[in-house]
Amino acid sequence: MISSSYKSLILMLAVGAITNVANAMPTEDLPEFSLEKLVVSATKVPTTMFNANANVNVVGRQEIENKHFNNIGEAIRNLPGVNVQNMGGSGEAYADNTLYINGSKNIVVLIDGVRINFNGGDAEKFSSADFIDMNLVERIEVLKGSASTLYGSDAQGGVINIVTRKQSGNGYGKLHTDYGSFKTSHVGLSAGGTEKGLNWYIAAQNKKSGSFKDGQGRRVPETVDAKTFNVKLGKTFDEKNDLSLMYTQYKSDYSRIKPKKGQVYEKATPIYGTKDNNNFVMSYNHKFSESSNNILSFSRN
């Protein structure tokens, strides 16, 4: 059995050895850690994430590019407390797709701080699979928990704020295309740039998907032919004032099935439908100080 004096001696020798190793390490070899500055606006006032008086998750531009998200739903579905329920193979053929935050479907969806989903039932909720132009997204802020004080009774579950990108540098053009199983294809063309305080972005995309097989090998006759068109114009007058105009359009022709009880998929009669959604937002932002700004906006859904 080791006496208390020997225990004290061993402890002193161990502390001395650790101290000598730390002192022997050159300062330039010590690892450095830094956290990227991130501005969060889900609480209406720009602030850093650590100072936000709310539970906020942010999906940034770098993560969107690295993980190749195809739509907003893919970008947020793995966040803690967020449940994206997209019915069907693509998630675009149903009007009753639902988002839940912390178990509640009462949420508010914003683009650049302006609300885009309607009050009321599930059918008027924002369909995350419809927003497929991820080149337009700078980051996605998800505020979890009741935000009714700021956003009304529909924000019991939380708020999703989609922050769009401001273009920088000279003009550019991009062509994107990919193909996959079940006749899935995605073709997009975009262009943008800046000149004399004016920034602009324009894009058009076409996404198609055909019938697929479920986990039991049954053919599911569901098809989608979706087209999107997005335009964003911005003007920076000075450090405190800027104006932005944005128009987005989503239109799709789809077919889906709803088998009767006991009926197999192959014998179910397809249901054909069309989505035609467009949104226009004009916003004027005036910055009073580092912690205070005012946004005057006009929107049409």
Distance between CA atoms of 63 and 168, rounded to whole angstroms? Answer: 19
CB atoms within 10 A of CB 97: 22
Nearest alpha carbon to residue 133 among 201, 199, 205, 60: 205
Q: What's the gap between Cα 91 and its chain centre?
A: 16
Q: What is the pLDDT along the chain (301 residues), one digit of tens a residue?
A: 555 555 565 556 555 555 554 455 555 666 665 656 667 776 666 677 656 666 888 899 999 989 988 888 888 888 888 888 776 666 666 655 677 888 888 888 888 888 877 665 444 556 777 777 888 899 999 888 777 677 777 788 888 888 888 877 778 888 988 888 878 888 999 999 988 889 999 999 998 988 877 777 777 778 889 999 999 999 989 889 999 999 999 898 988 877 777 777 667 778 888 888 888 989 998 988 877 888 888 888 7
Domain boundaries, the chain: 39-164, 172-300
How big is the chain by its Cα radius of gyration, in Å? Answer: 25
- Taking the domain 172-300, which CATH number applies? 2.40.160
Task: Write the CB contacts of 128 (distance below 8 Å, at least 6 apart in sequence).
Answer: 71, 72, 73, 76, 84, 86, 91, 97, 99
The one-letter amino acid code at 13 reads L
**39-164 and 172-300 in the same fold:** no
Protein fold of 39-164: Ferric Hydroxamate Uptake Protein; Chain A, domain 1 (2.170.130)
Give the burial class of 8: count Cβ atoms within 10 A of its Cβ; 0-12 exposed, 13-18 middle, 19 or more buried.
exposed
Q: What is the pTM of this model?
A: 0.74
Nearest alpha carbon to residue 245 among 279, 208, 282, 275: 282
